[in-house]
Amino acid sequence: MTPAIVTESLSKRYASRMAVENLSIQVQRGEVFGLLGPNGAGKTTTIAMLLGLVAPTSGHAALLGTPLGPQLAVALRKVGVMIETPAIYPYLNGAENLLVLARAGRIDPQRVDRVLQIVGLQERAKEAARTYSQGMRQRLAIAAALLPDPELIILDEPTNGLDPAGMVEIRDLIRHLAAEGRTILLCSHVLHEVEQLCQRVAILKEGRLIAQGNVADLLQREQGIRLRVEGDPAAAIALLHALPWVTGLTQEGTVIFVDAPSQRVAELNTYLARNDIAVAEIGLRERSLETFFLEVTGDR
Ligand SMILES: Nc1ncnc2c1ncn2[C@@H]1O[C@H](COP(=O)(O)OP(=O)(O)OP(=O)(O)O)[C@@H](O)[C@H]1O
C-alpha cells in the first residue's frame, strides 16, 4: 500500500524566505506521526501544501497515493483536518454544528451521531456550543474532522489551551482513532505528548528537516552514559577525555554526561575504578523527546 503521505524535496518560497526547503518525509498508513518544530519552522506551510491550499514552489507530494494537483480533491474526501482554533457556531448545539458541516460536505447526516459518540459528546450534543468548555470545543472540532470517516487525520495543536485533564481526554481520543486503523499526522508543541502518542516524528527547523525517525531510535541513538563519582568530578573528566570513543562530556553539578556508545558502560566503569575513581552511580542517560528536540533545534 502506498504511504499515507509522501513528500519529495518539497519546497515553498515566500519572497526571499524559504518557508519549507527540500522536505522529504513519509507517513505510513496506520501510524501516528509527529511533525515538530519551533515557531516558524514550516509546519503549517507543509500542511497547507498537502491540502492543496498553498502551491509548492518545487518538489512533489502525494496524499493517500494521489499526487498534489487536480486529482487531490478526491483524496481529500478521505482526509479529516483540524487546524488551530476551530470555527464553531456558538448558538447552535453540538449536533447542529456538525449537521451544518455534514451538509456543506455532502456527508450523510447519520455520521453526526456516530462522530458525537466517538468523541464522547453525545450527552451534551443538544446544548448550545457556547456553553461548552474548551475541551468540549476541541472534541467538537475533532468530531467535525471525523465526519468524512477519514483514513488520514491531520491535527494541528489539538490540545492547545486545554487543562491537564482535557489534554488527557484528547490524547485518549487520538489513541482510540489510531487503534481504529486511521493514520494521524499530529503537529504539537507539547513534546511529552508527542513522545506518548507518536511512533515516528520529523523535526523541522527553519524549513529544513533536521531529524526524522522512530522516536525510540532517535532518543536511543543520542543516549550516552550518565555517571556520578565520589569527590571531585574534574579528575574523572580528565580521564574520560583520554578515551577515543568518548565524543563529548558535560557536567551538571556532580553528574557527568558522557557521549559514548551505551554498550561501553561497563568498560567505562572499570576504567575509572582502575584509575582510583570511585563511581557512585552509573547508567544510561535517559533523554526525553523534549531534551532531544531542544538539542537538535539548537534552542539550548
Ligand atoms: N503567507 C506568507 N507569506 C510570507 N511568509 C510566510 C507566509 N506564511 C508563512 N510564512 C513564513 O514561512 C515560515 C514558516 O511558517 P509556518 O507558519 O509554516 O511555520 P510553523 O512551523 O507552522 O510555525 P508555528 O509553530 O508558529 O505555527 C515563517 O518564517 C513564516 O513567517
Give the C-alpha separation, 189 to 284, whole Å.
26
Q: What are the residues facing 128 on neighbouring strands?
A: 93
Q: What is the pLDDT of residue 221?
A: 65
Q: What pLDDT was estimated at residue 188?
A: 85
Digit-coded pLDDT (tens) for 208-220: 999 899 988 877 7
Q: What is the ipTM of this complex?
A: 0.95
Mean pLDDT of 215-238: 84
Atom of ligand 1 nearest to the CA of 45: 18
Contact 220, 212 (CB under 8 A): no
Which cell numbers hold the place of 88?
Answer: 464553531
Q: What is the DSSP letter of 217?
A: H
Residues whose CB is less than 8 angstroms from the CB of residue 28 and which lie 6 or more positions away in sequence, other chains included = 3, 4, 183, 200
Cell of 192: 511529552
pLDDT confidence of 184, banded at 50, 70, 90? very high
43, 201, 299: residue to mutate for ligand 1 pocket, most atoms within 8 A of CB: 43
- Asked if residue 286 has pLDDT above 70, the reply is yes
Q: Is the pLDDT of residue 299 over 70?
A: no
pLDDT number for residue 189 = 79
Pocket of ligand 1 (CB under 6 A): 14, 17, 19, 37, 39-45
Domains of the chain: 5-219 (3.40.50.300), 221-297 (3.30.70.980)
Atom of ligand 1 nearest to the CA of 46: 18
Q: Quote the pTM value.
A: 0.82
pLDDT value, residue 86: 67
Cα(107) to centroid of ligand 1, in Å? 32
Band of residue 222 on the pLDDT scale cut at 50, 70, 90 = low
pLDDT at 300 (0 to 100): 53
pLDDT digits (tens, 9 = 90+) for 121-144: 999 999 999 999 888 898 899 999
177 C-alpha to ligand 1 centroid (Å): 29
Q: Ligand 1 pocket test: pick from 20, 39, 45, 194 the residue with the most ligand atoms within 8 Å of its Cβ.
A: 45
| pLDDT the model gives residue 166 | 83
Looking from the CA of residue 44, the nearest atom of ligand 1 is 22
Strands in the chain per DSSP E: 5-14, 17-27, 32-36, 58-63, 66-67, 79-83, 152-156, 183-187, 200-205, 208-214, 225-229, 248-252, 255-259, 279-284
